[in-house]
């Protein structure tokens, strides 16, 4: 198998802001530490939960450095480095590698629809400038680009593109990847409501914001899968299913921050134009969390 540093539950920390909408690095480190001590298997800053597109280059670099400083090698770090241009993506990928990241994650962001050849050239250009592994992230709901299984297969031909994260919600794609690319293909689930199905389809890990709120349950699900205890896995998964659906449907940054507050943890503020959950949604989330944890 190619270099694949991740297995298990890979948690997405939120990027907290202060009352002036400035990134709160001190709180960010605290939230990362909270995830690490919960027992998760990896950290993935600057993803959808970390509102990466809403950050300046300098803020992304500050978050990258803070992540490496806080993890201190206790768990591997997967840094999101995506950008509209190849030049900026290369810049952030090289910065992450120099800072000590174990791998980078790239989603093809675009305004104009990219062709398959353009996407392959984009990943290849980044891969030529760094030596650490790359996770190709497919999430058409946020990027507007849907990378077909055939395209993902082409990307895996690039030497240090070693991992695929699938967030389309189409479990058949994961089965296809295993069938077409072999048992050694390292793919990861990015669709929270499909976590159980993805693991049973052979996913190596689950990239998720859920550990911010229910770390024990996400880890317990993974351990049940590892033990081959499918009945236990089903019970644990459906215990958290309503919460997984809610945080996705309401927007991960909003829902996670509200959930942290409900749990008595400081979650910081959002950056405009994002706004907090409505009172109605917050009350619904409070009831869901109460049910899940009881």
Reading the chain (294 residues) residue by residue, the pLDDT tens digits are 467 779 999 999 999 999 999 999 999 999 999 999 999 999 999 999 999 999 999 999 999 999 999 999 999 999 999 999 999 999 999 999 999 999 999 999 888 889 999 999 999 999 999 999 999 999 887 777 889 888 998 999 998 999 999 988 777 777 777 777 766 778 899 999 999 999 998 899 999 999 999 999 999 999 999 999 999 999 999 999 999 999 999 999 999 999 999 999 999 999 999 999 999 999 999 999 999 998
Please tell me the predicted confidence (pLDDT) of residue 67: 98
The reported pTM is 0.94
Please tell me the predicted confidence (pLDDT) of residue 99: 98
Q: Assess whether 123 carries a catalytic annotation.
A: no
Please tell me the predicted confidence (pLDDT) of residue 2: 64
Q: Domains in the chain and their CATH numbers?
A: 8-230 (3.20.20.70)
Please tell me the predicted confidence (pLDDT) of residue 178: 73
| Residue list for the binding site | 49
Catalytic residue among 12, 60, 123, 137: 137
Please tell me the predicted confidence (pLDDT) of residue 111: 84
Residue whose tokens read 């201190």: 72
| Residue list for the binding site for pyruvate | 49
Q: Assess whether 238 carries a catalytic annotation.
A: no
Catalytic residue among 60, 123, 165, 176: 165
Measured CA angle at 203 (ends 49, 149), to 5 deg: 85
């Amino acid at each position: 198998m190619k270099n694949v540093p991740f297995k298990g539950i890979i948690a997405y920390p939120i990027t907290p802001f202060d009352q002036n909408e400035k990134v709160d690095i001190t709180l960010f480190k605290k939230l990362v530490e909270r995830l690490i001590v919960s027992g998760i298997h990896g950290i993935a800053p600057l993803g959808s939960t970390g509102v990466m597109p809403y950050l300046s280059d300098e803020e992304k670099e500050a978050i990258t450095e803070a992540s490496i400083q806080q993890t201190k090698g206790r768990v591997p770090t997967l840094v999101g480095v995506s950008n509209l241009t190849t030049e900026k993506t290369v810049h952030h990928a090289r910065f992450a590698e120099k800072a000590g990241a174990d791998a980078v994650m790239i989603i093809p962001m675009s305004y104009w629809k990219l062709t398959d050849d353009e996407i392959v050239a984009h990943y290849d250009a980044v891969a030529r400038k760094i030596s650490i592994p790359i996770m190709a992230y497919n999430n058409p709901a946020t990027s507007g680009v849907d990378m077909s299984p055939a395209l993902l297969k082409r990307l895996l031909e690039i030497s240090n593109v070693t991992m695929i994260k699938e967030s389309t919600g189409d479990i058949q794609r994961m089965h296809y990847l295993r069938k077409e690319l072999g048992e050694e293909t390292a793919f990861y689930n990015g669709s929270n409501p499909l976590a159980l199905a993805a693991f049973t389809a052979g996913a190596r890990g689950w990239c998720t914001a859920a550990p911010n709120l229910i770390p024990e349950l996400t880890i317990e699900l993974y351990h049940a899968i590892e033990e081959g205890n499918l009945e236990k896995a089903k019970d644990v998964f459906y215990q958290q299913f309503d919460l997984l659906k809610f945080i996705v449907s309401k927007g991960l940054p909003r829902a996670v921050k509200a959930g942290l507050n409900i749990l008595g943890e400081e979650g910081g503020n959002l950056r405009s134009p994002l706004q907090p959950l409505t009172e109605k949604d917050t009350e619904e989330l409070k009831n869901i969390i109460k049910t899940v944890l009881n």
